[in-house]
Amino acid sequence: MTLVRCPDCGSSLSPVLVERLDDATGPRPAIDLRGLVRTIPDYPKPGIMFRDITTLLGHADGFRRAVSELASRFADDGVRKVAGIEARGFILGGALAHQLGAGFVPVRKKGKLPFQVIGNDYELEYGTDRVEIHVDAVGSGERVLLVDDLIATGGTAAAAIQLLEQAGATVLGASFVIELPDLGGRKRIEAMGHPVHALIAFEGD
């Protein structure tokens, strides 16, 4: 697919989306993405401020803007696959893959994929977890962008990057809507040699 430039942010878009943008009349107001994120205190346990992006996803212009801004950072990097982390990363990753003209790879929890898989175990605060992809999800040297809704400690993202590299992919970076900078996830991914792109930061979480 031949991509063209977004009139709003300069990112590469599919022609279908550009046609929709061109049909819009009048100036489009600036969108406060941060204001579209709902904060739920004490969920899923006391002391946690849960950042809920379903309100952003349900706002047509906000969702479009978020995906466009996520795409803009890597628009010229030759992304061939977008890997989305279960589960909200699937929503963002599918839209981002469409916008970049790339394929989509689901990074799933253990036992959720139907075909032969490869996996990577990683440490949690208490115990371990595992992420998996299909053995044929990415090709050797294929340029892959990782995406999820939020980066906190970066443990799941780091495990997903290691898994993609184990499968032979070239990981270009990781994109998130929300970053919780106090939890150190960005530094963890950057220490692995990969850039991190986040649209919103919530300090003090």
Provide DSSP, 30-60: P--TGGGSEEEET-SSTT-EEEE-HHHHTSH
CA neighbor of 196 nearest in space, from 181, 180, 174: 174
Active-site residue, from 80, 88, 108, 186: 88
- Residue 125 annotated in active site: yes
How many residues belong to the chain? 205
Sheet holding 81-85, edge to edge: 117-123, 128-134, 103-109, 81-85, 143-151, 170-179, 196-201
Instruction: Tell me the pairing of strands 38-41 and 103-109.
Output: unpaired
Q: Is the peptide bond before 181 cis (omega within 30 degrees of 0)?
A: no
Catalytic positions, please? 88, 125
